[in-house]
Chain A
């Protein structure tokens, strides 16, 4: 896959390879905390963030965390009633 920043593709590939190796060979085997990809991730991020700014992407909106917070959408109640306010 390509990066959103055309100039970041090489850094992305290097990082992805590092992450995938770390994830399968270390993290999933219980070695949670040693992270060999930190340095390359930092370089890659600098590049990506610049590209995102140049493309005028909504960084603030993207920064928000939803998963694990109260902002996650909830399943609808099992029996939906006509008066259900969530159904517009």
Chain B
């Protein structure tokens, strides 16, 4: 398993961020997101629970597609719990379906009030990449976590774009789009992945 933890902040109010969260697609960075559907939602004790289904394009490297056959689409389930009193939105996403037989990426995000500047919003993002393909799990996980990290920047930029469209760009100055990683176990993952892939004789993406 590979683990990632990163932080970011939005110079927007928490209410603005969570409203935009539910309307963040489409944006110029979301061309890989094909469909979005609410599967369930309910309010329990003031908290809002939602579950959404996304289908996304599957951009697997060649070596990945040799493990699976099937539709070139990935299904992602995104659960959220919103606590309006604590001002905390927690999201949990995972890929399901055929791709999960080679690699599962789980992502947990928490959007909370920024502790230093309450009119801003903090994001803590965690991710876990697991694979159980015998002999290849290390290479696949290293590939997965690297790709995840790369995509984080793009995801944030897409979200920033939506916030800017809705609430104006004057607050955008210095808005942090760089998610600094504080902890991760996938050190030099790309290097490792290449080495292992080379060893295993598989083609790199």
B7 at the A interface (CB under 8 A): no
Q: When the two chains form their complex, are residues A33 and B96 in contact, meaning their CB atoms are under 8 A apart?
A: no
Chain B nearest Cβ from A64, distance in angstroms: 8
Bitwise, B47-82 to A at CB < 8 A (1) or not (0) is 010010101000000000000000000010101110
Q: When the two chains form their complex, are residues B128 and A73 in contact, meaning their CB atoms are under 8 A apart?
A: yes
**What is the bound-complex CA distance between A44 and B185, given in angstroms?**
42
A70 at the B interface (CB under 8 A): no
| With A41-B38, A57-B75 as contacts: A68 and B15 at CB distance below 8 Å | no
Q: Which of B13-36 contact A (CB under 8 A)?
A: 15, 18-19, 22-23, 25-26, 33-36
Residues of A within 8 A of B185 (CB): 76, 80, 87
Residues of B within 8 A of A62 (CB): 39, 53, 75, 77, 96
How many residues of A are counted as interface, with CB atoms below 8 angstroms from the partner's CB atoms? 41
How many residues of B are counted as interface, with CB atoms below 8 angstroms from the partner's CB atoms? 44
Q: When the two chains form their complex, are residues A1 and B46 in contact, meaning their CB atoms are under 8 A apart?
A: no
| With A1-B26, A24-B19, A72-B108 as contacts: A67 and B79 at CB distance below 8 Å | yes
**What is the bound-complex CA distance between A13 and B51, given in angstroms?**
17
Out of B18, B36, B81, name the residue touching A67 (CB < 8 Å). Answer: B81
**Chain B interface residues (CB < 8 Å from chain A):** 1, 3, 5, 15, 18-19, 22-23, 25-26, 33-39, 41, 43, 46, 48, 51, 53, 55, 75, 77, 79-81, 84, 90-92, 94, 96-97, 106, 108, 126, 128, 137-138, 183, 185
